[in-house]
Amino acid sequence: MEFSIKNGNPEKQRNACVIVGVFESRKLSSAATAIDRASDGYLSSILRRGDMEGKAGTTLLLHNVPGTLCDRVLLVGLGKEREFREREYRQAVQASIKALDGRGAGDVASFLAELPVKKRDLAWRIEQMVELTMASIYRFSHPNCKKTDERRGVSKLVINVPQRNELKLGDAALKRGLAIAKGVRLARDLGNLPGNICTPTYLAEQAQGLAKEYGLKVEVLERSEMEKLGMGSLLSVSRGSRQPPKFIVLQYLRGKAAQKPLVLIGKGITFDAGGISLKPAAEMDEMKYDMCGAASVLGTLKAAAEMDLALNLVVIIPTCENLPDGDANKPGDIVTSMSGQTIEVLNTDAEGRLILCDAMTYAERFEPEAVVDVATLTGACVIALGHHASGLFGNDDGLVKELANAGDEAFDRAWPMPLWDDYQEQLKSNFADIANIGGRAAGSVTAACFLSRFAKKYDWAHLDIAGTAWVSGKEKGATGRPVPLLSHFLLQRGKK
């Protein structure tokens, strides 16, 4: 896929297709009006015949429109002009790419970025267009499937800006969108890989590959080193698996030497069967996605490196499998975390927090500016927020606000949840410092409360992406979220 930014008249473009918008009812956008004029009212006459109303999500492909130099004109319905917001803009962009899927129009010029969207500037509209286009042409390919996917569809997208003096701004937005889209693609690819390929060892190899590609510092700790560090909690989860656990540490150091690093921690359970507290069989395959936190922090690192952000960033990935076995964690087992706190494992399926807590203690050695962990942590978060927002928790209001704003800016949203001490009571154990579950009530909050016990030494936030990291059903697949949110967070921090 190739992108470029251009300024020109829609009727003068020589592309295979020019994309313009039409509002409901039959109100032409300014690019559509230009084509209508050049074609002596050809578009309005077609609309008058009733072939297109301009309803959101609809499209109409026209060939050989008089007065134009392109092969086709794609009209995209935008819905009512007064109701045209972010969601509608995104829908229109997606519909425009989908409508050309499987067709001969490879090289297209889109005029949709000219459309005003409340509170969003041209840079936002361009960045979104790039990310949405990359996302909609995404196809997962299994490494062993040699099937060459000769898809026809958009392969070159020229994004038109309304004014000549907006070309530079447009180029910057395009670069940003592309970097983020590449990070998203990496996160989706890793997430979609099955558990028999994407093992902890595979993730470690991917991290080493990234390190080589971008000149990063990388370390992969093996079981024996984790033992020496006292990561008893993490290692207890890994006991039931024949795949060796890995502890991945990547360092991207492009900030000032004195600048404390940001630390991103990603949950890397490459398959979560629940352990002895075995999960039900239905949809268990989706627990291959339990490493999407890890995938997203790697994706974010890639985006940051692609954008060449001037900051110091450490990415930590504790990774293992959670399987039942004769040697696996058992309900009631007590394990000692690297922090020294003892944990009563009342449910072996609450394993994410058990691996994250040791990573959080390990993070202290970097004296971080802030730590953000990302995890497909609780089914309860899906019940609370559904599939639209990630759950957002933290021990510092400023950091939480920053992340919420970054999510809003990226349209990859997260919603703040309470982390009050009142909830901590639910984690009381008669036999250890803390229990690993807090009962059915507020499951995503008590999970975050558990993590907060290991975040005493720094500003910390937690993103529960159980509802947002992948979609189920016919369109099953990883989303790459929250790479856009985290990328924008880093972009903002990079400016400081």
Minimum CB distance to ligand BES smaller for 179 or for 346: 346
Q: Tell which one of 272, 306, 321, 409 touches Zn ion (CB under 5 A).
A: 272
| Contact between 351 and ligand BES per CB under 6 A | yes
| Contact between 189 and Zn ion per CB under 5 A | no
| Contact between 466 and ligand BES per CB under 6 A | yes
| Contact between 402 and Zn ion per CB under 5 A | no
Q: Tell which one of 44, 208, 347, 429 touches ligand BES (CB under 6 A).
A: 347
Window 318-357: residues binding Zn ion (CB under 5 A): 352
Cα–Cα dist 450/435, whole Å: 8
Contacts of 178 (CB under 8 A, 6+ apart): 3, 130, 134, 306
**Residue of 103, 120, 279, 330 marked active site:** 279
Query: Which tokens hold the place of 95?
Result: 């519909």
Q: How far is the CB of 321 from Mn ion (least distance, A)?
A: 11
Element (H, E) at 414: strand 414-416
Which parts of 167-259 fold into alpha helices (H)? 167-192, 200-214, 223-229, 232-238
Residue count, binding to ligand BES (CB under 6 A): 16
Q: Which stretch binds ligand BES (CB under 6 A): 191-199, 311-319, 370-378, 471-479?
A: 370-378
Minimum CB distance to Zn ion smaller for 339 or for 376: 376
* Whether the Cβ atoms of residue 20 and residue 29 lie closer than 8 Å to each other: yes
Q: Tell which one of 95, 380, 417, 490 touches ligand BES (CB under 6 A).
A: 380
Residue count, binding to Zn ion (CB under 5 A): 4
* Whether the Cβ atoms of residue 464 and residue 375 lie closer than 8 Å to each other: yes
| Contact between 36 and ligand BES per CB under 6 A | no
Minimum CB distance to ligand BES smaller for 249 or for 382: 382
Window 253-292: residues binding ligand BES (CB under 6 A): 272, 290
| Contact between 187 and ligand BES per CB under 6 A | no
Contacts of 112 (CB under 8 A, 6+ apart): 19, 20, 21, 76, 89, 92, 93, 96, 125, 129
Beta-sheet pairing, 72-80 with 2-6: unpaired
Tally of CA atoms within 13 A in the half-sphere of 178 that contains its CB: 15
Minimum CB distance to Zn ion smaller for 226 or for 269: 269
**Residue of 188, 353, 481, 493 marked active site:** 353
Contacts of 363 (CB under 8 A, 6+ apart): 263, 265, 314, 316, 371, 458
Calculate the CA 144 to chain-centre distance: 25
Long-range pairs for 170-174 at CB < 8 Å and ≥24 separation?
170/5, 170/122, 170/123, 170/126, 171/5, 172/123, 173/122, 173/123, 173/124, 173/126, 173/127, 173/130, 174/3, 174/4, 174/5, 174/126, 174/127, 174/130
| Contact between 350 and ligand BES per CB under 6 A | yes
Query: Which tokens hold the place of 296?
Result: 């997203």
| Contact between 349 and ligand BES per CB under 6 A | yes
Q: Residue 443 touches which of ligand BES, Zn ion, Mn ion, none (CB < 5 to 8 A by kind)?
A: ligand BES
Closest by CA position to 149, among listed 159, 158, 138: 138
Minimum CB distance to Zn ion smaller for 166 or for 272: 272
Q: Residue 378 touches which of Mn ion, ligand BES, Zn ion, none (CB < 5 to 8 A by kind)?
A: ligand BES
| Contact between 166 and ligand BES per CB under 6 A | no
Q: Which stretch binds Zn ion (CB under 5 A): 4-12, 37-45, 138-146, 270-278?
A: 270-278
Q: How far is the CB of 287 from Zn ion (least distance, A)?
A: 7
* Whether the Cβ atoms of residue 154 and residue 106 lie closer than 8 Å to each other: yes
Backbone torsion region of residue 230, taken as left when φ is above 0, otherwise alpha when ψ lies between -120 and 50, otherwise beta: left
Active site residue 279: yes
Q: Cα–Cα distances in Å, from 58 out to 10, 50, 52?
A: 20, 13, 8
Minimum CB distance to Zn ion smaller for 385 or for 404: 385
| Contact between 443 and ligand BES per CB under 6 A | yes
Q: Tell which one of 36, 166, 290, 373 touches Zn ion (CB under 5 A).
A: 290
Active site residue 254: no
Binding interface with Zn ion (CB under 5 A): 269, 272, 290, 352
Binding interface with ligand BES (CB under 6 A): 272, 290, 347, 349-352, 376-380, 382, 437, 443, 466
Give catalytic residue positions: 279, 353
